[in-house]
């Protein structure tokens, strides 16, 4: 049995054949689905572990990243699904299925005539700004959790210049705080950057304006973690016996709620 998100992801992969987690996430959002990048990533991991899709690691930006590949399990999966229908409803089920397929074909033809959905701010290079973005309660919440004034950042970039995790980040640390200043919170919460932060405090120690960026990123993580949107699934972790407990404790503190 497949969950609804799993099905949606598999359907995207079926069309794209080979793509990255980020692309799948973007396509799902374009289809109007509310999900987060993190969730998509987790589900992809699970599908891979269940052997339903392929996963390849490719060099990227000096390091590497994962690409997912559609595995042609059509035969097996579809018989599985049909098996469920007959199990539950017998021949009657199959007849109903046939009827639905006929009507669906008709509906799909109608659907394609519908207008394409408009792109959201996170998918385009354009932001529409109004005071609602700037005088935003989420920005205030972030300032409350972090105890920092985001408007104090004058975008010098020294934090990004010294960040140890920069090579794998999609958004730079200074871009994160810039997007917060402009109220673009969802883009920030979807990024890998906030989870790649190692809380090393190099940015905090060097910032000329005294903005503790480590605290701002913690606040952004907490916005998700406090809603129980964990970044990692503890049961799926691969722990070797030599790993120090402090690594586990701190990792779970930072990446789970």
Partner 1 sequence: MELCYYPGCTLKTTAKNFELPAIASIEKLGHKMVELPRWNCCGTVHSLAADDLMHQLAPIRTLIRVSETGADKVVTLCAMCYNTLKQANKIILEDNEKRDRINNFLDEEKDYSGNVSVLHLLEFLRDEVGFEEIKKRVKRPLDDLKLSPYYGCLLLRPEGIGIDDIEAPRIMEDLIEALGGEAVDSPFKSECCGSYHTVDDIDPVIERTKMIIDDSNARGADAIVVGCPLCFYNLDYRQKDAKERYKEFNSIPIFYFTQILAIALGLDESTCAFGEHFVDPRPMLLNKNLVLSGWK
Partner 2 sequence: MKRLGVFVCHCGLNISDTVDVKKVVETINKHPNVAYAVDYTYMCSDPGQEMIKSAIKEKKLDGVIVAACSPTLHEITFRNAIATAGLNPYQFENANIREQCSWVHKDKNTATEKAVEIIKSMIEKLKLNQSLTAINIPITKKALVIGGGISGMQAALDIANSGFEVILVEKTSSIGGRMSQLSETFPTLDCASCILTPKTVEVGHHPKIKLITYSEIEEVEGYLGNFKVKIKRKPAFVDWDKCTGCGLCSEKCPTNVPSEFDRNMGTRKAIYIPFPQAVPKKPVIDSKNCIYFKTGKCRLCEKQCPTDAIDYNQKETFIEENVGVIIVATGFDILSKENIGEYGYGKYKDVIDGLQFERLLSASGPTAGKIKRPSDGKIPEEVVFVQCVGSRDPEHGMPYCSKICCMYTAKHALLYKHAVHEGQAYVFYIDIRSGGKGYEEFVQRAIEDEEIVYLRGKVSKIFKDSGEDGKLIVWGVDTLTGKKIEISADMVVLAMAAVPNIGVKELAKKLKISTDAHGFITEAHPKLRPVETLTAGIFLTGCVQAPKDIPETVAQASGAAARAITILSKPELEMDPLISTVDEEICTGCGVCVEVCSYKARELNEIKKIAEVNEALCIGCGACISACPSNASIHKNFTKEQILRMIEEVT
> Which span (81-89, 93-101, 105-113, 170-178) binds partner 2, by CB under 8 A?
170-178
Closest approach, Cβ 190 to partner 2, in A, equals: 16
What residues numbered 127-166 form the site for partner 2, per CB under 8 A? 154-163, 166
CA distance readout (Å), 169 to 6, 64, 210? 26, 12, 23
> Does residue 191 interact with partner 2 by CB under 8 A?
no
Q: List the single partner that 242 binds among partner 1, partner 2, none, CB under 5 to 8 Å by kind.
A: partner 1
SS3 letters across 163-223: CCCHHHCCCCHHHHHHHHHCCCHHHHHCCCHHHHCCCCCHHHHHCCCCCCHHHHHHHHHHH
- Residue 93 binds which entry of partner 1, partner 2, none, CB below 5-8 Å type-dependent: none
Please give the Cα distance from 253 to 213 (Å, whole number). Answer: 18
Q: Which residues bind partner 1 (CB under 8 A)?
A: 63-64, 144-147, 164-165, 167-168, 196, 198-202, 204-205, 212, 214-215, 218-219, 222, 232, 237, 239-251, 253-255
Residue 168 binding partner per list partner 1, partner 2, none, with a CB distance cut-off of 5 to 8 Å that depends on partner kind: partner 1
HSE of 73 in the Cβ direction (CA atoms, 13 Å)? 17
């Amino acid at each position: 049995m497949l969950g609804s998100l799993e099905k949606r992801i598999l359907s995207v992969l079926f069309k794209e054949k080979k793509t990255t987690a980020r692309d799948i996430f973007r396509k799902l959002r374009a289809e109007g689905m509310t999900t987060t990048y993190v969730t998509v990533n987790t589900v992809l991991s699970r599908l891979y572990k269940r052997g339903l899709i392929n996963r390849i690691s490719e060099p990227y930006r000096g390091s590497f990243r994962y690409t997912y590949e559609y595995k042609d399990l059509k035969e097996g999966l579809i018989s599985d699904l049909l098996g469920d229908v007959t199990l539950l409803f017998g021949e009657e089920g199959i007849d109903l299925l046939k009827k639905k397929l006929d009507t669906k074909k008709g509906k799909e033809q109608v659907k394609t005539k519908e207008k394409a959905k408009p792109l959201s701010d996170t998918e385009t290079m354009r932001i529409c700004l109004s005071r609602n973005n700037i005088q935003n309660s989420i920005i205030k919440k972030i300032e409350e959790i972090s105890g920092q004034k985001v408007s104090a950042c004058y975008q010098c970039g020294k934090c990004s210049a010294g960040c140890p995790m920069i090579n794998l980040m999609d958004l730079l640390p200074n871009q994160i705080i810039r997007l917060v200043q402009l109220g673009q919170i969802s883009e920030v919460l979807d990024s890998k950057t906030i989870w790649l932060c190692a809380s090393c405090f190099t940015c905090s120690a060097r910032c000329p304006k005294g903005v503790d960026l480590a605290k701002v990123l913690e606040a952004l993580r907490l916005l998700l973690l406090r809603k129980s949107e964990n970044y990692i699934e503890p049961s799926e972790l691969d722990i070797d016996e030599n790993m120090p407990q402090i690594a586990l404790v701190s990792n779970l503190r930072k990446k789970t709620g």
